[in-house]
Structure 1
Amino acid sequence: MSLNDRIPNLVQPADNCYCGGMVDETALAEARDAGVRHVVNLRPDAETPDFNEAEAVAAIGLTYHHLPIASPEDLNESNVRRFDEIMDHVGDEPALVHCASGNRVGALFALRAGWLKGQAPDAALALGRSHGLTKMEPAVEKLLAG
């Protein structure tokens, strides 16, 4: 199986960035083998009560970052700034940014682009879509419109 078969809705919007849905130990190992060095998990612990992702990531030598985003209500400036700090820390090193489907990933990339990087709303939404934004797009569009 390929990494695309292991991670739902996987996209690679940049050479050093994979975005997608839920992972397991096998998907994480395949991501590492594909060159990933950082895992950014946007799922709250309650979504994966039987999987300690931080432990699984550490066991295979990757760096783990966790920013729980449960719903559109968590799409606020504070969390977008925290996401920006994580992505700045990751820098140009290959990363896998994931949630359950990739939707929250795209939402945070769009809001980061619009709120913190000065992109126009249409450009920020397009960037979000390229990173996995789907069902949260109306909420993100409203937030970007101010």
Structure 2
Amino acid sequence: MNARPVMPIALALALSACAAAQDAPAASTHDEVTVQSPVLERFATPVDGIHSGGRISAEDLPALRAAGIRHVINLAPAAETPGFDEAGAVRAAGMRYDSLPIAGAGDLDREAVAAFDRLLQAADGPTLVHCASGNRVGALVALRAAWLLGANEEAAVEEGRRWGLRGLEGEVRGRLARERCVADAGDADSAARCDAAG
């Protein structure tokens, strides 16, 4: 029995596989693609490339980065997480970081909504937007949908819910109702009654 050497055949097969791999198109490395990861399962994905939800920790950052997150927008004031320098930790992990502190319902005004809109417009690749629970994220999204994008109240609230709106829904509806009242008012006295009505 005359056995042929196996090594040259195996080497030839390996080399042809390498040549085929070189000719194949490279895998996509676009920033818009995020990898499915257990760390992202606890966040909503209301639109492609943006995740929203609650608080993150230093331990989450390597997994978020590995999952493709490139930008973190934090809506919680730093005082809510004493002992955790989120800005420094996110940047050290190689991600962009922006902060828009929304302490509560009193900060849900047109200025905050406009600032939030600018942050979303400037989102740099796959982005995580968060606060403590996602509620403030959803509230800003709902107000943005109504005030800046022209959605009616129900559509705006529904969009906010997709991003995490829950406990602040009454506040959002109250602000939208007041805006509607002022818009319908014919004069300053009528507009003042909108404020008095709450």
TM-score, normalisation: structure 2: 0.69
Pick from 94, 103, 107 the counterpart of residue 126 of structure 2.
94
Query: Unpaired segments of 5 or more residues in structure 2?
Result: 1-36, 180-198
2:90 is the counterpart of 1:57? yes
The Cα shift of 1:26 comes to: 2.1
Mapped to 2, the partners of 1:67 and 1:41 lie a distance apart of 6
1:95-121 CA-to-partner distances (Å, cap 9, x unmatched) read: 000000010010011111111111111
Mapped to 1, the partners of 2:85 and 2:39 lie a distance apart of 20
Mapped to 2, the partners of 1:33 and 1:107 lie a distance apart of 29
Mapped to 2, the partners of 1:30 and 1:49 lie a distance apart of 22
Match for 2:165: what amino acid?
A: L
Match for 2:158: what amino acid?
A: A
The Cα shift of 1:28 comes to: 2.2
* SS state at 1:106 partner: helix
The Cα shift of 1:30 comes to: 1.5
Match of 2:185 in 1: none
Match of 1:108 in 2: 140
CA RMSD of aligned residues (A): 1.4
Match for 1:2: what amino acid?
A: P
Give the number of equivalent residue pairs: 142
1:55-82 CA-to-partner distances (Å, cap 9, x unmatched) read: 0110111000100001100000011111
* Aligned residues of 2:40 and 2:64 also touching (Cα < 8 A): no
Shift >6 Å, 4+ stretches: none
**Which protein shows a greater Rg?**
2
Higher RCO structure, 1 or 2 (CA under 8 Å, sep 6+) = 1
Query: Unpaired segments of 5 or more residues in structure 1?
Result: none
* SS state at 1:134 partner: coil
Where in structure 2 are the equivalents of 1:1-146 lying within 5 Å?
A: 2-4=38-40, 7=42, 10-90=43-123, 93-145=125-177, 146=179
Match for 2:152: what amino acid?
A: A
